[in-house]
Amino acid sequence: MPAATVHVMAGVITDKRGRVLLARRGAGRELAGLWEFPGGKVEAGESPEAALARELAEELGIEVEVGAPVMVVPHRTPSRLLRLDVRRIHSWRGTPKGCEGQGLAWVQPEKLGRYDMPAPDLPVVAALLQPDHCLVTPLPVDDVAWLAALQAALDGGVRRVQLRLPGLEPARRDALRAQALACCSAAGAQAFVNGDPAFAREAGVGLHLPSAMLRMCRERPVGADQPLSASCHDEAELEHAQALGCDFAILGPVRPTASHPGQPGIGWDRFEQLRARSSLPLYAIGGLAPDDVATARGHGAQGIAAIRGLWPGAQA
């Protein structure tokens, strides 16, 4: 790793009621007063797991078993690149105490958003609370088959859907969109209409901004209570999406895809460089499928967005 990279391990410690332990950074330290996942820096020659176990013993007085990876968030500041490597901790010995005088709080996951946390923790909180995949619909050939496939995707657990129906004749599009929204709503899935702010406002549903439309938006195009997402390809678009208050962005294409022949993918290195300059939750898109979620999380993504990779019956 380059000299300016700081590798930090942090634990999502959950009790039997599912509450998560946060620690408050004490006065006089950098980011004092903010809440964080307990942990600290990896020392030279130390494995990540040993570092996390040591930090949690020093800071909380507990002996832990380090569990599954949650995600690795690269985060760039003017002076350094932080890699926040977050793991699950389900089992430990002892009772967590603020051994360094820091405040502790056991927090219900859905209330994590009320705590002021450092920027790199925002994608981690999103990863704990929100779906790790987002379906983007393909163009229908046969409307009945398309609705059946959408229903199968919802039955299979998809909970975020971007309804993308470009170029359809308006009456057909309106009928299909109404039925698709009803299916999403019945399944408890969040639906985002692609590129139609007026419709999203009127119907009170989520809106997804294609990047060209994102660049034209000077203010949030839907109400604060309506979900908003955007497609991004570079740092300027990510910044703009964040300024508009998007809930998340879709970034890619990571790999070349069947839907954009001839367009090279940006690859995971570039994905990470862009990830490191934004604190939005980011779905990686481009030739990805559910099998890629763990890899995506390892590069700081919320998960994957896909058309073919998440469409029942499609060839990935």
Ligand X SMILES: Nc1nc2c([nH]c(=O)n2[C@@H]2O[C@H](COP(=O)(O)OP(=O)(O)OP(=O)(O)O)[C@@H](O)[C@H]2O)c(=O)[nH]1
Residue 132 contacts which entry, ligand X, Mg ion, none (Cβ below 5-8 A, type-dependent) = none
- Residue 98 corresponds to which tokens in the numbers above? 């603020």
Question: How wide is the angle at C-alpha 129 spanned by C-alphas 230 and 50, nearest 5°?
Answer: 115
- C-alpha closest to that of 229 among 130, 128, 114: 130
> How does DSSP classify residue 14?
B
| 40 versus 298: smaller Cβ distance to Mg ion | 40
- Interface residue with ligand X among 52, 82, 183, 288 (CB under 6 A) is 82
Residues 26-65 that bind Mg ion (CB under 5 A): 40
Under rule CB under 6 A, residue 41 binds ligand X: yes
Instruction: Tell me the closest approach of the beta carbon of residue 30 to ligand X, in angstroms.
Output: 5
Instruction: Tell me the closest approach of the beta carbon of residue 34 to ligand X, in angstroms.
Output: 8
Under rule CB under 6 A, residue 31 binds ligand X: yes
- Interface residue with ligand X among 7, 14, 19, 40 (CB under 6 A) is 40
- Interface residue with ligand X among 12, 53, 55, 66 (CB under 6 A) is 55
Instruction: Tell me the closest approach of the beta carbon of residue 39 to Mg ion, in angstroms.
Output: 6
Instruction: Tell me the closest approach of the beta carbon of residue 80 to ligand X, in angstroms.
Output: 9
| 125 versus 161: smaller Cβ distance to ligand X | 125
Residue 118 contacts which entry, Mg ion, ligand X, none (Cβ below 5-8 A, type-dependent) = ligand X
Under rule CB under 6 A, residue 32 binds ligand X: no
Instruction: Tell me the closest approach of the beta carbon of residue 68 to ligand X, in angstroms.
Output: 17
The whole-angstrom separation of Cα 305 and Cα 174 is 24
Residue 121 contacts which entry, Mg ion, ligand X, none (Cβ below 5-8 A, type-dependent) = ligand X
- Secondary-structure breakdown of the chain: helix, strand, coil percentages, each rounded to the nearest 5: 35, 25, 40
Residues 102-131 that bind ligand X (CB under 6 A): 118, 120-121
Under rule CB under 6 A, residue 74 binds ligand X: no
Instruction: Tell me the closest approach of the beta carbon of residue 58 to Mg ion, in angstroms.
Output: 8
Chain contacts with Mg ion (rule: CB under 5 A) = 40
Q: Would you tell me which residues interact with ligand X (CB under 6 A)?
A: 8, 10, 30-31, 36-37, 39-41, 55, 82, 84, 118, 120-121
